[in-house]
A and B are shown apart, each in its own frame.
Chain A
């Protein structure tokens, strides 16, 4: 699992409440990513980070913010959750093997917004 831990594994919340998902890695990888997975859409990039305090938007960033105050933790925050944010959220890290760099994924967080 490339040393990636996501928490919580499952979360049920109500519309309008703030939610924070955590991704923790143990292998000092520079790049970290948050994706969401929905039926019919595959995985879509929300935000990514290329270092401490260095983040950028992905293709579906509206309604989400991120923070990376230390290398090992990348937090995804839904400031005011909506039902459209019900999804499975995956954190990923980029790992180099020689000349190649590949993404490895955490086990995911199932978020339900009621």
Chain B
């Protein structure tokens, strides 16, 4: 059975801190790993990773995939209160763009 596990499940930090969110997976026919941010409504796309060791960046957010360790991390530097959200990791396995999601990490940034 395909499985994606995120850690920690919940994290509370102060504004300005740097955070690292973890995602590990056990799937057959791995194709890609995706990160989403979910505030009040729909998850919104952050990154898609297919190749090991290549960092993707968008402003203060960055992510990297390690296919040997079957894992990925999402880094957020200089956190802001607007970064408070649930961060979801998902893996596409088996084609048809079907995603298997982790439980999510609830990140809270306190001012």
Q: Which of A12-20, A35-43, A69-77, A79-87 contacts B (4 or more CB under 8 A)?
A: A35-43
Q: A residues within 8 A CB of B90?
A: 43, 103
Task: Give the docked Cα–Cα distance between A42 and B34 (Å).
Answer: 14
Kindly state whether residue A45 has any CB partner on chain B within 8 Å: yes
Question: Which B residues are in CB contact (< 8 Å) with A41?
Answer: 103
By DSSP majority rule, is chain A's interface helix, strand, loop, or mixed?
strand
Which one, B11-19, B40-48, B63-71, B76-84, is touching chain A?
B40-48
Give Cα A100 to B88, complex, Å.
19
With a cutoff of 8 Å between Cβ atoms, the chain A residues found around residue B44 in the complex are 105
Binary contact readout B55-96 vs A (1 if CB under 8 angstroms, 0 otherwise): 000000000000000000000000000000000101000001
Residues 24-52 of B, flagged 1 when their CB comes within 8 A of A and 0 if not, give 00000000101000000111110010100
